[in-house]
Amino acid sequence: MKRLPLVFLLLTASGCATAVPKNAAPAVQLHGHRFSTELATDDASREHGLMMRTELPADHSMLFVFPDTQPRWFWMKNTLIPLDILYFDADRQLVSMQLDVPPCKADPCPSYPSDAPARYVLELPAGTARRIGVEQGDELTVDGDIGAVR
């Protein structure tokens, strides 16, 4: 009879050990691939984005989270690396892609719009979307807490 509480305690402890911590680093999954991600959830971080970076590891991304769904456009001013820019609606379904977007070396820089209203925008190293076979309608899954959107 004394074994039953011990077994229950061990099972509970093992379940806790495998659970994702509440404040785990955010990550996204797209088309069967997982990327660690940085979040841009306020005006300042969305405006700065990946500016002045000289590299972005192949398994890394930046997720821009907006408080509403509307047409979006991005530009590459002071962005030094080429990117794939993927636009997702409120249900995190892929609605538009701008692939292999080059860094901007001119002023003014061109903008890269979404083809449909978007709430989330994911930036990946250029060529990633084609390499992993991303398609319109793919669902973006976000692991971890994306925090408050401002």
- The domain of 92 spans 23-143
pTM: 0.82
Helix, strand or coil, per DSSP, at residue 7? helix
CA 72 to chain centre: 15
In a domain, 86, yes or no: yes
Domain count, the chain: 1
Q: Is residue 100 part of a domain?
A: yes
* Residue 81 domain flag: yes
Query: What is the DSSP pairing of strand 33-40 with strand 27-30?
Result: antiparallel
Beta carbons within 10 angstroms of residue 150's beta carbon: 11
Q: What is the pLDDT of residues 47-87, one digit of tens each?
A: 999 999 999 999 999 999 999 999 999 999 999 999 999 99
What pLDDT digit, counting tens, does each position of 17-40 carry?
334 445 567 999 999 999 999 999
Helix (H) or strand (E) holding 130: helix 128-132
Whose tokens are 């509440």? That residue is 22
Domain membership flag for residue 56: yes
Q: What pLDDT digit, counting tens, does each position of 74-130 carry? A: 999 999 999 999 999 999 999 999 999 999 988 899 999 999 999 999 999 999 999
Cis ω for the linkage preceding 108 (within 30 of 0)? yes
